[in-house]
Chain A
Amino acid sequence: MNEDKKLNGRDLINIGIYGAIYFVILFAVAMLGMIPIFLPLLSVFVPILGGIPFMLFLTRVKNPGMIFVFAMIMGILMLLTGMGPWPLLTCAAAGLLAELVLKSGDYRDAKKAVLSYGLFSMWIFGNYLPLFTDYEGYFAQRADYGQAYIDAVQKLMPLWMAPVLLIACFVCGIIGGLLGRALLKKHFEKAGLV
């Protein structure tokens, strides 16, 4: 049915299935993020673990737009869970980049799939953006979190961490993509899921 290039019902349901698994992982890790030490680690664990469902998801992607929609859904869910509008923007950008890379390989190229996931993972940076765009203001507003919390976060998140985190998202995304591919080969292909 590949001649039909528009997203059909099955594609949309697939986005829902893999999106649900991805979000459950994201949510489980984000619970750890309430503790300051784990805050930067979000950009490590989410891309790595999320690679498992995402790489399986990519094997179902045949029509253009699926990755972009997937990313936008994540953005909307972040908005709903109170992370503000920033992730929506990074999701749009990262989703578009990931989509273009995978499209350049005609949605089949395995290496480009890993790269595509790396790019996609950069949306997570959107969750840190409110902190870095207005560094002083962010902490001024959070005075009532307690000085201890602020000290801890400031120590962990100096301004120069911004590019580091962005790169970490990407690099861990690549690692997650490779891990996902490894599991795909080891389990899911043999199990008849692919």
Chain B
Amino acid sequence: MEYSSKQSQEKRRGFIDPRTKLALILILALFVMGGLGGEQMQPLKMILSALPFALLLAEKQWTRFFRGVCILVCGYALLWIMPYLPAVLSYFALFCGGILTRFVVTIMMGEYVIATTSVSEFISAMEKLCMPQQVTIPLSVMFRLFPTIGAEWKSIRRAMRMRGIHLGGAKAGQVVEYQMVPMMTSSVRIGEELSASALTRGLGAPVKRTNICRIGFRAQDYLMLVGCLFVVCAWILEMCGVRLW
């Protein structure tokens, strides 16, 4: 079979455009997690809360979907049994339940975005949003380095275990030092080599970068964006004291 990079990029394309995802994150952060809007916005918020779950289903992210549902069920179960518990435990149940049911939406949205957006898609979206290189280059380096820093962290922890250095009794300062010094040294070295390699391949040239990622708005994107706009409008109208329903 002939390999076609164009077709395979097309196949990897997500259900919605990364820019739409950005808009959704913002709306969710403001209205669901940030709690903007009053009484009238409640039904809209319910729909917004269901959105990440719907999107996970649309992209066939079954495990993530079920994890989300489990958290939600646990949260509501805690709230439901709360009145039947003794005082101390009931506070605890209320507290955990409150946090679980509240955060699950944003956590699921985050999971969805991370699971379905590749770094190049994200950068491509930033470029399309006319973000300057000063923003896109550092961000792409960061996304590239996060897994590497994680791996270095693990490797250092293993090395400590292997050498029999246990931090139980040690001073807090020493913990920071032993962990941070090799981590910083190796991250910086990796970063230096990374930039040498990137610069010899022409990163930072004063031309408009192209990107082989296939992104762009389709019907579902327009639908979501109009939805976002509607939420904002409804909120403004509510602020002006207009009764919608």
Contact = CB atoms under 8 A, between A and B. Distances in A.
Interface stretch (B5-13, B58-66, B96-104, B237-245): B96-104
Interface string A45-85: 00001001100100000000100011011001001111110
A13 B142 CA distance: 9
Nearest to B91: A148
Interface in A1-30: 7-10, 12-17, 19-21, 23-24
A147 B87 CA distance: 13
Contacts of B204: 8-10, 12
B29 A82 contact: yes
B94 A69 contact: no
Interface string B127-157: 0000001110111111011100110000000
Interface of B is mostly: helix
A145 B98 contact: yes
B142 A149 contact: no
B30 A84 contact: yes
B149 A21 contact: yes
A12 to B, nearest CB: 4
B134 A69 contact: yes
A135 interface: no
Interface residues of B, number: 54
B138 A145 contact: no
Interface string B64-106: 0000000000000000000000000001101101110111001
B178 to A, nearest CB: 11
A20 B141 contact: yes
A23 to B, nearest CB: 7
Interface in B182-219: 183-185, 187-188, 191-192, 194-195, 198-199, 203-204
B28 interface: yes
B139 A76 contact: yes
Interface in A127-159: 130, 138, 141-142, 144-149, 152
Interface of A is mostly: helix
Nearest to B22: A80
Given A9-B195, A13-B191, A146 B98 contact: yes
Interface stretch (A89-97, A113-121, A162-170, A186-194): A186-194
A28 to B, nearest CB: 10
B94 A146 contact: yes
Contacts of B134: 7, 12, 65, 69
A81 B135 contact: no
Given A9-B204, A12-B134, A21-B184, A82 B25 contact: yes
B176 interface: yes
Of A70, A141, A147, most buried by chain B (CB within 10 Å of CB) is A141
B133 A12 contact: yes
B35 interface: yes
B29 A84 contact: yes
B195 to A, nearest CB: 4
Nearest 4 pairs between A and B by C-beta? A16-B141, A9-B204, A141-B35, A17-B191
